[in-house]
């Protein structure tokens, strides 16, 4: 199978992802769904999941029932230099505390993952203070937090490429160990600031439309946050425009580039990923900017309450499967969607057809 790697040329090539399900197979999948014991389209978004999963299984040459047996939620954690400007309710000291609670099992994402039957792990992409060794922590550190994007690049172009490679390798290793669904989340104080700047750079949208309240900041802090995003774009956009990886190096975060690489690595292996909220959505946007066809392997869990999230989904021309008004990040939304995915696949496998019960189509 062709492999994905950022080389010295800082390019990526996954020709296998360009394969398209033939028209007759697409029609056969749709026919099966439409002829199940229900009105056509009556299962709504569950039918979207059925089509996407069946199509990916076909491209992988898989036969038999569609199923999720080994889902995994990976939280990508890192710190941001811009956090020193107090664009969040708390400072970078909170990042390792939250990671500790993820592992202890009493954070929101820990509870959601446990209820959904999803294994949880942390990838340390560059938390200021390295996360202590733990069986469920993988070190993919690119540094001890990024540069402050309103004054300097977040990282070098070489570091961004290294982060993409690390993410690809994480996904390959998990897929080789049996992961058949990857859910992604993130942790890092001030990462909505970096994500907003990167979204504006990738989409061309106005910075104010991309920059929201994050942890729940007040109006004055939001105005300050937007000023810093404006400064970052004025500083970096002229030299990085139309180059997604360079934009990520100038404006993004360690967790964003590693997560984007993981999305490409999972797709390379034929494994679908569930995207959580705003920051994960920006990582998905970066992955799609680099390899547009990766979008076929992404499911967007929810449309959250963070400013810019709905606009980002519209830009990507995708629909989120849940509302819920989540604004917590961490991967809570992606964990919550797993039981729905399992139900959709069970319906595809097990529902009777109209003809089987003696009805005409």
**3-class state of residue 74 by DSSP:** strand
Look at residues 196, 160, 162 and name the one whose alpha carbon lies nearest to residue 285: 196
Instruction: Look up residue 55 and give its two tokens.
Output: 């199509």
Residue 90: count of CB within 10 angstroms of its CB: 14
Residue 299 is given by DSSP the state E
Please, what's the b/e burial string for 101-139 (b: 16 or more CB within 10 A of its CB; e: otherwise)?
ebbeeebbbbebbeebebebbbbbbbbbeebeeeeebbe
Q: Do residues 334 and 185 lie in contact, with contact meaning Cβ atoms separated by under 8 Å?
A: yes
What span, in angstroms and rounded, lies between the C-alpha atoms of 165 and 6? 6
255 counts as catalytic? no
Catalytic residue among 85, 119, 330, 356: 330
Burial class (CB in 10 A: 0-12, 13-18, 19+), 24: exposed
Q: Which residues are catalytic?
A: 330
């Amino acid at each position: 199978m062709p492999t994905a790697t950022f080389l010295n040329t800082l390019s990526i090539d996954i020709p296998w992802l360009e394969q398209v399900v033939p028209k007759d197979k697409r029609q056969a999948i749709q026919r099966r769904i439409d002829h199940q014991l229900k009105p056509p389209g009556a299962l709504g978004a569950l039918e979207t999941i059925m089509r996407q999963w069946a199509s990916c299984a076909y491209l992988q040459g898989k036969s038999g029932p569609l199923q999720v047996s080994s889902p995994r939620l990976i939280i990508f954690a890192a710190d941001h230099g811009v956090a020193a400007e107090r664009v969040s309710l708390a400072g970078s000291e909170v990042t390792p505390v939250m990671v500790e609670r993820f592992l202890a099992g009493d954070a929101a994402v820990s509870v959601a993952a446990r209820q959904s039957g999803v294994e949880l792990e942390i990838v340390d992409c560059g938390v200021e203070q390295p996360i202590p060794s733990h069986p469920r922590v993988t070190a993919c550190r690119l540094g001890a937090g990024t540069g402050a994007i309103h004054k300097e690049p977040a990282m070098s172009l070489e570091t961004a490429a290294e982060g993409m490679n690390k993410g690809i390798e994480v996904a390959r290793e998990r897929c080789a160990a049996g992961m058949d669904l990857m859910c992604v989340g993130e942790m890092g104080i001030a990462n909505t600031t970096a994500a907003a700047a990167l979204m504006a750079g990738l989409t061309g949208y106005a910075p104010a439309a991309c920059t929201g309240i994050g942890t729940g900041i007040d109006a004055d802090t939001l105005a300050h946050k937007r000023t810093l995003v404006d400064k970052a774009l004025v500083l970096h956009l002229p030299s990085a425009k139309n180059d997604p990886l360079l934009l990520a190096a100038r404006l993004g975060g360690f967790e964003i580039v590693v997560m984007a690489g993981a999305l490409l690595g999972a797709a390379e292996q034929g494994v679908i990923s569930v995207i959580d909220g705003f920051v994960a959505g920006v990582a998905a946007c970066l992955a799609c900017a680099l390899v547009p066809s990766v979008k076929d392997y992404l499911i967007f869990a929810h449309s959250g309450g963070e400013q810019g999230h709905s606009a980002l989904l519209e830009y990507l021309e995708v629909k989120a499967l849940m509302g819920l008004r989540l604004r917590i990040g961490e991967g809570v939304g992606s964990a919550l969607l797993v039981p729905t995915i399992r139900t959709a696949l069970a319906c595809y496998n097990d529902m009777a057809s109209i003809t089987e019960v003696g009805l005409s189509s």
